[in-house]
A and B are shown apart, each in its own frame.
Chain A
Amino acid sequence: MIPPFDWQRVVVAPWTDGLPTYGWVVLMGFLVALACGLIGNFLVLRRMALVGDAISHSILPGIAVAFLLSKSRGTIVMFSGALVAGLVTTVLIEFIHRRTRVKQDAAIGIVFSTLFAFGVLLISMFAGQVDLDADCVLYGELGLVGMEPYAMIGGVEIAPQPVLTMGIVCLLVVALIFFFYKELLVSSFDPALATSLGMRPGVVHHALMAALSVVVVGAFRAVGAILVIAMLILPGATAYLLVSRLPRMLLLSVIHAALSAVAGLHLGVWLDCSIGAAMVVAGAALFTLAWLRVLLGRRLVGSPPEPEGTSMIGG
């Protein structure tokens, strides 16, 4: 059942004959993992990993409704639908959590499953009209990215449309982190201090959620709703195990994104399966390596794990 490992086909071909197709695939994979990973660092630090889970599910109805209302599949339409859905999710979770005695974890579960169910139902009811199907929700279309129509700028073919979009999203995320680094850092570690410095952690929180929705909708079409969660958490979690300074953590998550994109490509080509899923498996292998290092390092040194909240501020 497992195809034989053919060096020529698996390792060499994607970089030579297959480059026009696989080049875009690996670039797209890297961009998705990069944008998700950078935002994901903050989710891991703020203990909001499962809010990422919730948003990645609940943007589905946002996309479906936006499509049904506008009848267009334009990038702007998709992104605004997702943005609205993402913000509605966070507001609803907070509303249920504040107004009833239902705890936050249950509130997250209720909200995202409801919205996701609504989205799936919409898609199956208007299956003929919506250019999304259940498979796309799960697997994404990362492998097909090279066949998408190219975006034209000034009559020159630049890149396939999704790659270009994801590139722009990546630039936005990097710019966001660059310009609001201090705000993000302080409000992630010490919301009280952030408030006293006049930074309004509530605004930072909602801005982060908005950025998350935009990133997720870009990544969603590439790797599917569930694997987005892995893309969000894996780079940040791996980096978090290895270093304890935020800049290094961000750098490591970039490296993780690149490595898992390349390794995922080869794994996917070898096993002839969804490249998105293969990227996740590759990323998980990297995480396992980091985890082993933590386990072994502790055994060698014989010291307990670092105490919680080792200060990253001042780094």
Chain B
Amino acid sequence: MMLLLFLLSVLPADAARISDVTETSALEQAVRFFTFRDPSLRLALAGSLLLGVSCGLLGAFLVVRRMALVGDTLSHAVLPGVALGFLWNMTKDPLAIFTGACVAGLLGTMVVGWITRTTKLKEDAALGLVLAVFFGAGLVLMGMIQRLPMASKSGLDKCLFGQAAALGGGDVKLMAVTTAATILLLSVFYKEFLVASFDVAFARTIGMPVRLLHGALMMLLAAAVVVALQAVGVMLVSAMLITPAATAYLLTDRMHRMLVLSALFGLCSGAMGAFFSFLGSNLPTGPCMVLAASALFAGAFLFAPRHGLVVRWWRRRSRNLQVARENTLKAIFHVIEAGGFSREGVALEELAARRRCTVDEAQREVLALVADRLATMDKARRVVHATPEGWRKAQAMVRNHRLWELYLTNRANFRADHVHDDAEEMEHLLDEETVRLLERRLDFPERDPHGREIPKVIGGGGGER
């Protein structure tokens, strides 16, 4: 924020297009970007950052309220307002356009509500209808403006796909004001917005003005969308509302963290969009920003610590490996137990017979154990010995299994021949604390329901996770 304030304070009033200089290489462009020499570039960047913050903050509320596409409808519905604001006094007066667009956007959301309340049409149809019809009306008006014989209309067409370079000082000031207002309102009424977003019924019972809050949110949203138009364009401003917020939603469960993250992602996408648009020297800014935001989303989608696709896959894989290792150890225990604990080595053939697999597969499983120092093999790779650590784990698995079987038969009244499969799964999940609890509940038993001894484990070592 300090940087932004600094940037704003040094902005000159008038600015040339940043894309005017096109004969430079990408590297020179990058250098120009990062040295902030260009006044118009400073304006464009400040605008992109501001819009990223305000859209990110408001988008978070849209996403948790499942109103993501309301943002889409609202952003398309402002178009006739933009045109009417221009027609008001035939200049690109930011304030007139802002007012017109806000009114049109709010009218659009009101018509959606009205249609869904008074007819049997569902919300999706009403949203699509308002979106397209308002946009069509906007295009008709824009077409009329294009044919007006005057010069001041230039730049109005930029509001469809966005060109941050076309931002003027007045636009950026308006953006700063709306962003500040958004931050202020959201931080003062944070609790009210939070409750009204997650539990409308509760909010109503404690006497909150739910409809007023909804209206205020829509108002802020309309303002944010309208000021973002010049930079991202009507077509894609909804993405700046939805994508950063959805990215934040993948990463956290807390609304305040989501708001911060969402604003941060909006900020990043704004900066990246401005940068790439500048690098390519004539690319529209909106698509660049949206693609940057989508790249962030894809990153979170794949690598989020808890919900990420790759992370979940990796977690499942390492759990499966863990279970496989523990099952091999258990099989070693069973073979030795069947021999009355009279020897220590287990031949691979015996292990394979026990695991009902081929000798090769058994060897592969044992090699995985050897890699984890849970077992050793002789030089000929035929006989397996568990290490002390491996033996403890094997004992713990068998103990967990038999304890759970006993618990199910004694406490949950399962039949003794119905408990094995359940115990096969539970043995890997029980931790030391639960095992202690089971032992106490079952009065420190010696034998499982099938009459086999429950091994004692010296030195702990339950199913690790």
Show the binding face of A for B, using Cβ within 8 Å. Answer: 1-2, 43-44, 47-50, 52-53, 57, 96, 99-103, 105-110, 113-114, 116-118, 120-121, 124-125, 134, 138-139, 226-234, 236-237, 240-241, 271-274, 276-278, 280-281, 283-284, 287, 291, 294-295, 298, 305-306, 308
Contact = CB atoms under 8 A, between A and B. Distances in A.
Q: Describe B's contact surface by its main secondary structure.
A: helix
A272 B63 contact: no
Contact of B250 (A101, A139, A233, A277): A101
A237 B121 contact: yes
Interface in B197-240: 235-236, 238-239
Contacts of B72: 53, 109
Contact of A47 (B67, B122, B137): B122
17 contacts: A53-B128, A53-B131, A57-B235, A109-B238, A109-B243, A113-B238, A120-B236, A134-B161, A226-B136, A227-B135, A230-B133, A233-B128, A233-B129, A237-B125, A281-B140, A283-B133, A284-B129
A120 B125 contact: no
B148 interface: yes
B148 A1 contact: yes
Interface in B38-87: 63, 66-69, 71-72, 76, 87
A26 B25 CA distance: 49
Nearest to A51: B124
A294 B121 CA distance: 12
Contact of B125 (A107, A233, A271, A280): A233
A225 B147 CA distance: 23
A57 B128 CA distance: 13
B139 A272 contact: no
A142 to B, nearest CB: 12
A294 B250 contact: no
Given A227-B139, A281-B140, A305-B120, 16 more contacts: A2-B144, A53-B69, A102-B249, A110-B246, A114-B291, A117-B290, A118-B291, A120-B235, A124-B283, A139-B139, A226-B132, A234-B132, A276-B136, A284-B133, A294-B118, A305-B118
Given A114-B294, A118-B291, A226-B76, A105 B68 contact: yes
A277 B137 CA distance: 7
Interface of B: 63, 66-69, 71-72, 76, 87, 115, 118-122, 124-125, 127-129, 131-133, 135-137, 139-140, 143-144, 147-148, 160-161, 235-236, 238-239, 241-243, 245-246, 249-250, 280, 282-284, 286-288, 290-291, 294, 297, 301, 307, 309
B96 to A, nearest CB: 16
B78 to A, nearest CB: 13
Contacts of B249: 101-102, 106
Nearest to B138: A277
Contacts of A114: 239, 243, 290-291, 294
B156 to A, nearest CB: 13
A-B pairs, top 9 by smallest CB distance, nearest first, are: A230-B132, A113-B239, A280-B136, A273-B143, A117-B287, A117-B290, A109-B242, A114-B294, A229-B132
Which of B122, B125, B283, B309 counts the most A-chain CB atoms under 10 A from its CB?
Answer: B125
Given A109-B239, A120-B284, A277 B128 contact: no
B115 A291 contact: yes
Contacts of B129: 49, 230, 233-234, 237, 284, 287
A28 B45 CA distance: 44
Given A278-B140, A291-B115, A308-B120, A116 B236 contact: yes
A103 B120 contact: no
A38 to B, nearest CB: 16
B197 to A, nearest CB: 14
Nearest to A102: B246
B121 A240 contact: yes
A109 B282 CA distance: 26
Contacts of B297: 110
Given A53-B128, A117-B291, A138 B160 contact: yes
Contacts of A227: 132, 135-136, 139
B301 A50 contact: no
